[in-house]
A and B are shown apart, each in its own frame.
Chain A
Amino acid sequence: MMSKLGVFDLSVRYGKLTAVNDISFSVAEGERVFISGPNGAGKSSLLAAIAGEVRAAHGRIEMDGDILSGRVPEAIARRGLSMVPEGRRIFRALTVQENLMVGVGLRRDKTAVPDDLEAIYAAFPILGTRRHANAGALSGGQQQMLAIGRALMTNPKLMLVDEPSLGLAPRVVDEVYDRLCSLQAQRGLTLVIVEQSSARAGRVGGRMLLLRGGRIVADGDATAFAADDLLKEAYFGEATP
């Protein structure tokens, strides 16, 4: 089966600093992949390179066999890859509904937009009740749901989510992941999620890529990893015997 996303020998450098060092992996259609690891492991750089926000120093990125690397972010978004950026980055002075409608400009199937909008409001009822409020007035958790809704409105085939739990209370994080997982099940989405907390990833479940120093140090089932010593090794260095 052809993979949804293919990353081949990808490196990202900022000046002399290598953030992502020769990484290769592939993601199958409908899969949920967590990218975990300590601070500075290269998680967000990897995601930014896939979305086209930073230019790869080396390597190739493909989606459905179509080459993404070297394209600008808006061109990549048009090919069906949607990004929920770190820190949510919602359009604060626009209303909730305007935020959701921003991304539909790139869709060809404009007739499906009203139904999709209602589907987002059904999945996140709070967004529906506050659809005319300024997005800046929402709480952190609501803003995260809005950022997810905004990404979904572009009707993506592949969705990247950068640190959805950042700055949110644990109970709210549970809710965000619940919604994200049920939306994935409904739509057959492929999800790649950066999640600093490997314990959290283990509880949600899926495949996990463990990054350290810009390399993949482990690739396997997130739930199995959560209990494993491998994690300690990745976060704190060599495990003591």
Chain B
Amino acid sequence: MTEHQARKLASLTTPLLLIALLAVFVLLVGAFGDRSLGRMAAETLIRVTLVVGFWIFVGNSGVVSFGHAAFACVGAYVSAWVTLKPEMKTLLLTGLPDWLAQAEWHVLPAAVAAGAVAAVLALVTGAAILRLSGIAASIATFAFLAMVNTIWANWTPVTGGTSSVVGLARYVSPWVGLGWAAAAIVVAAVYATSASGLALRATREDEVAASASGIDRYRHRLAAYTVSAFFCGVGGALMGHFIGVINPDGFYLSLTFLMLAMLVMGGIGSLSGAVVGVLVVSIAVEGLVRLEKGVTLGATEIALPAGSQEILIGLAMILVLIFRPAGLLAGRDLSLPAAWVAGRAKTTK
């Protein structure tokens, strides 16, 4: 085996390692954690699906998007529309067309539909937004987020407006979350190494040189945006079916900033950064929430003052940005060493 082949094989281990890492996380929580820790694990894996989807566009194109929470919003409502009990829909969502009001889908095709509708929306809106370059494109995605939020908050007969839609089947366990997170990771890894992914990463590095190499930046951006929106749509549907209640404001600024913060913390430059960012932030938040509630150490009970969780997470983020501006993984990917992979391949032959 040549060194080149060994390296290629080693890079294939990245998605497998990430999935294994998440599986170990789920197993550990399942073995030692209580019920609330189990919920935290499920929520973390939903976030991995969202943030890995988000990374497919942002990581490869280098264009920061503020619009991906809108795809999660659309996904959550699409899944609600097709899975809620018809009697509930005729009561709450009077404006739904008949076929949708009568629909009673299984949750899995509903999640796929949620992703598909989000992807189509991305294809249509991206066709306009992605012709802009640099910061203008980012601002346009923010405008898109605000538009979706306003429409969803006011289209009351179809979305229920600002009053929450309730009664979504709460089926999302950590293992369901792991399944979708794994799917997102595999697709993200395949895309990043595809010809389109390589072309997009080249435009991220240098637009002029990329166009001189014959790359149509717009086309590859649109492809990544569409794939990316699919997993954010699925992630939104999972969020809805995790909490059981959805509201347009649950998919607005705070979700946008949470997704961005996780990605920046882990490192925007690699898929592993996206996954590790979600894990680190989610575990840190959970730990701090528990400290706020108080822990007993021997005879003394220590409790952080309420609200210190947000402040400490903010501080941690500032420290990461100061000492590791490219994120915890700084653009590197987890993989098995090429020499080891080559060695294994030799012994199995």
Chain A residues within CB distance 8 Å of chain B: 51, 53, 72-74, 77-78, 82-83, 85, 89-94, 97-99, 101-103, 105-106, 131-132, 147, 150-151, 154
Chain B residues positioned under 8 Å from A132 (CB to CB): 3-4, 7
The 9 A-B residue pairs with the shortest CB-CB distance in the complex, in nearest-first order: A77-B214, A106-B214, A91-B205, A89-B209, A103-B213, A73-B211, A83-B212, A102-B202, A89-B206
Contact in complex: B214, A74 (CB < 8 Å): yes
Chain B residues within CB distance 8 Å of chain A: 3-4, 7, 195, 198-199, 201-202, 204-206, 208-217, 269, 331
**Complex CA distance for A97 and B204, rounded to whole angstroms:** 17
Contact in complex: A85, B199 (CB < 8 Å): no
Chain A residues positioned under 8 Å from B215 (CB to CB): 74, 102, 105-106
CB within 8 A of B211: which of A77, A90, A105, A150? A77
CB within 8 A of B214: which of A53, A78, A91, A97? A78
Known: A91-B206, A93-B201, A94-B202. Contact between A131 and B214, CB under 8 A?
no
Contact in complex: B214, A93 (CB < 8 Å): no
Contact in complex: B211, A94 (CB < 8 Å): no
Contact in complex: A94, B205 (CB < 8 Å): yes
Contact in complex: A74, B198 (CB < 8 Å): no
Contact in complex: A93, B269 (CB < 8 Å): yes
26 contacts between A and B (CB under 8 A): A72-B211, A73-B208, A74-B215, A78-B214, A85-B208, A85-B212, A90-B205, A91-B201, A91-B202, A92-B206, A93-B201, A93-B269, A94-B201, A98-B202, A99-B202, A102-B210, A102-B213, A102-B215, A103-B214, A105-B199, A106-B213, A131-B4, A132-B3, A151-B212, A151-B213, A154-B214
Known: A98-B198, A131-B4. Contact between A51 and B214, CB under 8 A?
no
Distance (whole angstroms) from the CB of A107 to the closest CB of chain B:
9
Distance (whole angstroms) from the CB of A90 to the closest CB of chain B:
7
**Complex CA distance for A38 and B216, rounded to whole angstroms:** 34
**Complex CA distance for A89 and B206, rounded to whole angstroms:** 7
Contact in complex: B206, A90 (CB < 8 Å): yes
Chain B residues positioned under 8 Å from A51 (CB to CB): 212
Contact in complex: B216, A74 (CB < 8 Å): yes
> Other CB < 8 Å A-B pairs besides A91-B209, A93-B201, 8 of them?
A73-B211, A83-B212, A89-B209, A98-B198, A105-B214, A105-B215, A106-B215, A132-B7
Distance (whole angstroms) from the CB of A3 to the closest CB of chain B:
22
**Complex CA distance for A94 and B4, rounded to whole angstroms:** 15
Chain B residues positioned under 8 Å from A85 (CB to CB): 208-209, 212
CB within 8 A of A73: which of B198, B204, B212? B212
Distance (whole angstroms) from the CB of B190 to the closest CB of chain A:
16
**Complex CA distance for A49 and B265, rounded to whole angstroms:** 42
Chain A residues positioned under 8 Å from B331 (CB to CB): 93
Known: A93-B331, A102-B198, A105-B214. Contact between A53 and B208, CB under 8 A?
yes
**Complex CA distance for A192 and B342, rounded to whole angstroms:** 44
Chain A residues positioned under 8 Å from B4 (CB to CB): 97, 131-132
Q: Which residue of B lies closest to A102 (CB)?
A: B202
Q: Which residue of B lies closest to A53 (CB)?
A: B208
**Complex CA distance for A74 and B202, rounded to whole angstroms:** 13
**Complex CA distance for A238 and B204, rounded to whole angstroms:** 47
